[in-house]
Amino acid sequence: MAAAERPITSPRVSRRTVSRARPVARVYGKSIASALSVETGATYNGYGESTEGGNVLNDGPAAAHPVPRTAWYRDRRVLAWAMFDFANTPYVVIVATVGFSTYFKDVVVHGARSGDFLWGLAGSASMIFVALTAPYLGAYADAAAAKRRLLFIYTLVVVLATALLGTVKEGMVVWAMLLYVLANIGFQGGQAFYNAFLPEVARDEDLGAVSGLGSAAGYVGALLSLFAALPFFWNGFEETNLGNVRGMFVAVAVVFAVFSIPTFVLLRDAPRPRTALANSGFVASLRTLKEDLTNLRKNRAPFLFLVSYLLYMDAITTMTAFVGIYARQTLGLSLPQIFSLLIISQITAIPGSVVLGRVADRYGAKPTITWLLMLWIVMLILGVVATGYSMLVFMVLLAGVATGGLFSVSRSMMALLSPKDREGEFFGFYAVAGRISAIIGPVVFGAVSSISGNQRLALGSLLIIMVAGLLVLRRVPMDAAAADRAASGTAP
């Protein structure tokens, strides 16, 4: 029976009370059911209803008046979850993509060729830390219901480190790299716990749409931050303008802190059964992680998808990390031109995230990602042969749609492949795949560019990686994955 057809079973519970309570039971799914089974010995489904008759929300006879479930776009938890994407994307754009990356190369290291390698090294160092800790902390977060607490800690790290980027001046290479490493650990590490909330706030049939909403909110934040930052970067890195540039890094930290507040106020971890909480210690979490690492390869669908994700994200992450430097050095674009290209990409990314998320819900995540990877291959070719601003305009129009859609659909596909009640742990593996790609790609790109002095050659190498990711994706058995997820969600 569909959720909208489930009856209210007690006249003592008001319609308003039940309409609020039922989405909570739905969202927490098997966790509530498992907890109730431990307490009473009865068997319950994911809606808190006994399979032996009656309803745990009340104890009266079944009524004939169903309560419609809350639409995903009206759910406060969904909106609070999406707000975090809005809060963190100014960091991605102003710090990681174009603002601090070009400031580091042009100002901190005075344009030295080694700047590419040092920038890639700093990014890779942060990713190594995240890759080593994400699966373990994901297992702990699942067992101890600690996703929100860990997300807050990582957010605090990225906010403080980003604010301190405002103190970085010419020649302060070590200080700049240290702060960027800390900021990127905070941002990338927190993404594992943020993404793991997705299957708790959204139903399986709405995962693509909700993930797309989060991505679209992020691109709105990126677009607004680019418009706000453009006047401060208009005069580039002239001596008289450097104070304005450094002030923007502090502003990014403030925006991140303020707009993430709704996320921490409204989101809560799903309640865990007593048996899970009793086994939530670090040793128990490590034992669980070891078991899952052993079994991950046996779960063919999520294993192959993670391999594919690692490969295509390697190409995308590397291109994102060096796009500002590539456009400025190889193509000779000014900072205002680079900012305008990013603004164009955000405009197309917003509808791309929402529309393609819904397309994935209807036609499947795997076919949607396949077409997006083919589009990315076309864009990489355009990037290699680009000679000026006009060709890049066409490229970023496609890039906005492809990037927004790929991030949101990849996230929803991982949610579909994750076993019920183990989302944090499997999103930890998802984080590791993405972070390993961010370790290898930037270092290789930076090394090739520094040694050969040819950034086009470094960018062209990414085509091989993207094609490999597409070929692995085609082998992911989605039918078997859906059956496994359904079985894990109904097991007592």
Q: What is the pLDDT of residue 91?
A: 93
Amino acid of residue 472: V
Strand partners, 433: none
Q: Token pair of 18, please?
A: 């039940």
Q: How many Cβ atoms are within 10 Å of 488's Cβ, its own excluded?
A: 14
Which ranges in the chain are annotated with CATH 1.20.1250.20? 73-490
Q: What is the pLDDT of residue 153?
A: 96
Report the alpha-carbon distance of residue 378 to residue 374 in Å, rounded: 7
The answer to whether the CB of 93 falls within 8 A of the CB of 222 is yes
The answer to whether the CB of 383 falls within 8 A of the CB of 413 is no
For 454, list phi and psi in degrees, rounded to 5. Answer: -125, 100
DSSP string, 4-31: GGPBP--TTS-HHHHHHHHHHHHHHTHH
CB crowding 4-28: b at 16 or more within 10 Å, else e: eebebbbeebeeeebeeebbebbbb
Report the alpha-carbon distance of residue 93 to residue 225 in Å, rounded: 8
The answer to whether the CB of 168 falls within 8 A of the CB of 246 is yes
Residue ranges in the chain modelled with pLDDT below 50: 1-67, 274-281, 483, 486-487, 489-492
Report the alpha-carbon distance of residue 438 to residue 125 in Å, rounded: 9
DSSP string, 404-463: HHHHHHHHHHHHHHSPTT-HHHHHHHHHHHHHHHHHHHHHHHHHHHHHHS-HHHHHHTHH
pLDDT digit string (tens) for 161-172?
999 999 999 999
Q: What is the pLDDT of residue 460?
A: 82
Q: What is the pLDDT of residue 440?
A: 73
Q: Token pair of 386, please?
A: 């680009």
Q: Which residue has the tokens 């219901």?
A: 145
Report the alpha-carbon distance of residue 213 to residue 224 in Å, rounded: 17
pLDDT digit string (tens) for 33-53?
333 333 333 433 333 333 344
| Assigned CATH topology for domain 73-490 | Growth Hormone; Chain: A; (1.20.1250)
Q: What is the pLDDT of residue 157?
A: 97
